[in-house]
Amino acid sequence: MPRRTDFAALAAVSLIVLPAVGTTTLTGCAKTKIWVNEKLGYEKREQLVGSVEKARDQQEKAKVAFASALEEFLAITEGDETTADLEKKYKKIESAYENSVSRAEAVHGRISTVESVAKALFKEWEKELGEYSSDSLRDASQAQLDATRERYTTLIGAMKDAASKMDPVLAAFKDQTLFLKHNLNARAIASLETDLAKVKTEVAELIEEMEASIAEANAFIDALQE
């Protein structure tokens, strides 16, 4: 493990280097972060587990945010409220929509981090295969690499499939939020009910995909920690 002075030095380096690479490419920034974490004692395998855990947690939060937003949209179509009541409901809808956007962006960001760390891990793993003098150990490591990469391919596919379903739902939420902004009356709200029925189906499909992705993430984490 690094000494206390090493942590201080690396922290200083990260403050200098990370903003600098941020002005070049996101890929360079990701590589630098992975490197800094390694120097702090976190191997790439451990970093991958951590990044998958964070992506899984963000998907869980996004799932809740989208379900909550749908509830707010459905709530405005119920009852016979005054204009003041509708204004309050609209504020909740606007806030729920913005929260959904924020959660979706966080999910996309976490998936990108998972991809960056996985790419670095597999590159290092493949390079190290050439350093074995024992054929049997090399073959065993190769088999483990192949199995891990196969599990990862399934995982990242599930994550991206779930993430792709967020965009059409967000687009529908945005349309309805914009429409309600200047049309808070019974007739306008009634006209949304057909669209909301479609959105309800899309949210249900999104949640199903997210739950499948979360299950894949848990399976991947368990396999890497065996």
Helices 135-164 and 166-181 meet at what angle, rounded to 10? 20
pLDDT tens digits, residue range 141-166?
Answer: 999 999 999 999 999 999 999 999 99
Report the mean per-residue pLDDT for the chain.
86
> Going by C-beta distance under 8 Å and a sequence separation of 6 or more, which residues neighbour residue 37?
47
Q: Of the given ranges (169-173, 174-178, 190-194, 210-214), which has the lowest mean pLDDT?
A: 190-194
Q: Of the given ranges (76-80, 134-138, 157-161), which has the lowest mean pLDDT?
A: 76-80
41: left (phi over 0), alpha (psi -120 to 50) or beta: left
Contact yes or no for 180/15 (Cβ under 8 A): no
Contact yes or no for 110/54 (Cβ under 8 A): yes
Contact yes or no for 120/34 (Cβ under 8 A): yes
**Confidence (pTM):** 0.82
Quick one: tokens of 84?
């003041």
Residue 184 DSSP symbol: -
- Portion of the chain with pLDDT greater than 90, in percent: 64
List the domain boundaries for the chain: 1-42, 43-224
pLDDT at 1 (0 to 100): 42
- Portion of the chain with pLDDT greater than 70, in percent: 86
3-class SS letters over 54-91: HHHHHHHHHHHHHHHHHHHHHHHCCCCCCHHHHHHHHH
